[in-house]
Amino acid sequence: MVKFTASIVLLAIAALSSAAPVTQEAAAPSADPEIQAADVFSSSVKYDGKATWFTDSYGSCNINWNGNDEPIVALNAHQMGAQSWGNPACGREVQIINKSNGKTVQARIVDKCPGDECAFGSLDLSPAAFKQIGDLSTGILNIEWHYV
């Protein structure tokens, strides 16, 4: 039994020593939070999702607004995260494109759309924003968007 165990150990050592070296193909994420935040809010990163519309006057960003007159959005909770007041997404501008007609609108993030209502990539628009790219009676639009 000792000869058998010794043989297995020698085979294992030989296999490990002849294996190809491990290389890292993807760069590790930066430990610097400012660099990570800059990547998240890059205007070159495009998101696909659904646009819905809602009415309210006060949101999770602690910003008062008038959605009938002002193009604003609620960012989906998946991308906004748990933080509300003071969230780095609050107040940022996004460019939204209706994929079916090419119409665009620029709007400001002032609220968070709950995760069970808005999937990753989706936005909830004020009536003022929604009407610039589609008809309110449509209810849901296929969109692409990015930070400005």
DSSP string for residues in 114-146: -TTTS-TT-EEE-HHHHHHHS-GGG--EEEEEE
Q: What is the reported pLDDT for 3?
A: 53
- Domain span at 52: 43-147
Q: Is the pTM of this model over 0.85?
A: no
Q: Indicate the helix (H) or strand (E) that contains 113.
A: strand 104-113
Q: In the prediction, which pLDDT does 8 show?
A: 44
Give me the percent of the chain exceeding a pLDDT of 90.
55
Number of domains in the chain: 1
How many CA atoms does the CB half-sphere of 63 hold within 13 Å?
21
Structure tokens at 41: 């809010």
Q: Evaluate whether residue 17 is within a structural domain.
A: no
CATH code at position 47: 2.40.40.10
Res 127: pLDDT: 96
Mean pLDDT, the chain, as a whole number?
Answer: 79
Q: Which residues contact 31 (CB under 8 A, 6 or more apart)?
A: none
**pLDDT tens per residue, range 13-59:** 444 344 333 333 333 333 444 445 557 888 999 999 999 999 876 78
pLDDT for 24-34, tens place per residue? Answer: 333 333 344 44
**pLDDT tier at 94, thresholds 50, 70, 90:** very high
- Count Cα atoms within 13 angstroms, Cβ side, for 32: 4
Q: Determine, yes or no, domain membership for 20.
A: no
